[in-house]
Structure 1
């Protein structure tokens, strides 16, 4: 049977611990009355991530893992999945799907027991068995460990370290295990700061429903989902497959590519973004837009949107490796789109 929802949280009282362009711009200006004088800005990179946060999901894989992965991929998210060993053993395909979707997999014990009550040898057996099950299913040896309930001591940390894993707790508890509403989960994630980690769970519908809003909030603050460093336990920029997953591609499958964005034209109420992809002729690029800004015109790519209207997925359509779009500022003149990922194939 799958892991117990909400079982990660600490017991009460002991909680511890995101040229064609010119013609398109002109067409947009004409369509809108186009009387504003355009100010052509020097090309500048689209807003870079000013920081990274670690989105983590415990207690998987579950019967809902496939749905969770779909939501994460549709929103351009890579996250860390703290898996329970016996769940991996019982659902190897779901664990494999996590890695195929670009997620980082980590150790969350064999069956979510209170590990601080165990002897050192029992701890060693539990964590070793879990890491072996994850590696057998996914080909990835975990470098991160999260103790069930957040309960830990020096012996457990030492055992994890001896197995090549760093212990990772959390900075923000989403309280999804405690019946938190979608808005409450979004609000909790809104407290994340650069380098911090949030606790969430696989198998909770409200958590899945909150992800688009969580990403919209992170984008508005120039924060991006990152990997958790095995060296520091803090969220850092993804390295294309880090966190112990050296062969893991970013969301969408295939290899990596590079997407470079510039904003060659800026008007008083809108601006153009031009994106050039290198390293692949067939590609998928995920871009975050800061609300209330909205894209009104697109060219040279196949564009789709998530439910929040703030995450845009662009796929190559045979028009070359440069695409673009016009964004209405809607009162927010400072924000620029964020390139979240570029995937070849």
Structure 2
């Protein structure tokens, strides 16, 4: 048997490959692909979904930046709007809709609702429902009670209007002077299905968004939507998660 030098073997192999390619091009025949399957990449949302929420908007000078920063970082968030703010800043509400951010009801004037009568509560929620439907064409399905204060009377009003009450699992304390680093740290504790409280109107909250997005990605988590059925976070209807 004749032994070929390594370089000779390489040249012959290359020539054979070239011939095979030429035959394939001429005949239309393609060799069967390898049966070896590539190792599947881990699903980017394998660890689950969380609900990012921002209360008290829309706010002139802040909501535009909030929406832009969320979109740049591939995040979806639920925006709980105060009715009178929405009425005054209807163009910002339309911008929220255009950005495909779910919009929720946060009452008309942000009062302490449990201190009110049934009819007063109903007015606060109904006026906000009407305003948001008038601006967006769609009435909200989610309601965030101001200060997280609720009672049986308020829940009855929510049910009457077809609203699901959404509280939170993690409070970033952005409303209480938390730094950007503190907001990011608190957001890093989110687990599958949980909801986090943030607000429209604080620069530190907007500055925290890139790091929040990076942390979610590093943990295999995505920002999802809050279900009107359960009030918990799950896969988004429109995929804009990281």
Do the structures match in fold with TM over 0.5? Answer: yes
Match of 1:44 among 40, 43, 60: 40
Match of 1:57 among 54, 57, 61: 54
Give the number of equivalent residue pairs. Answer: 205
Match of 1:74 among 72, 75, 81: 72
Q: Aligned equivalents of 2:114 and 2:226: distance in 1?
A: 24
1:58 match: secondary structure: strand
CA contact (8 A) 2:44 2:222 kept: no
Q: Aligned equivalents of 1:93 and 1:43: distance in 2?
A: 47
Q: Aligned equivalents of 1:181 and 1:161: distance in 2?
A: 37
2:208 match: secondary structure: helix
| Larger RCO, structure (CA 8 Å, separation 6 or more) | 2
Equivalent residue number for residue 174 of structure 1? 172
Q: Aligned equivalents of 2:204 and 2:58: distance in 1?
A: 17
Equivalent residue number for residue 200 of structure 2? 202
1:298-309 correspondence runs (5 A): none
TM-score (norm 2): 0.82
Unaligned runs of 5+ in 1: 1-39, 241-249, 252-339
Equivalent residue number for residue 145 of structure 1? 143
List, as ranges, runs of 4+ consecutive aligned residues in structure 1 with deviation greater than 3 Å: none
Q: Aligned equivalents of 2:178 and 2:157: distance in 1?
A: 33
Q: CA deviation at 1:43?
A: 5.1
1:199 match: secondary structure: strand
Q: Aligned equivalents of 1:95 and 1:145: distance in 2?
A: 16
Larger radius of gyration: 2
1:149-228 correspondence runs (5 A): 149-228=147-226
Q: Which structure has greater helix proportion?
A: 2
1:53 match: secondary structure: strand
Unaligned runs of 5+ in 2: 1-35
Q: CA deviation at 1:45?
A: 4.3
Equivalent residue number for residue 102 of structure 1? 100
Q: CA deviation at 1:155?
A: 0.5
CA contact (8 A) 1:82 1:105 kept: yes
Q: Aligned equivalents of 1:41 and 1:203: distance in 2?
A: 50
CA contact (8 A) 1:105 1:140 kept: no
Q: CA deviation at 1:210?
A: 0.3
1:93 match: secondary structure: helix
Q: CA deviation at 1:125?
A: 1.2
TM-score (norm 1): 0.58
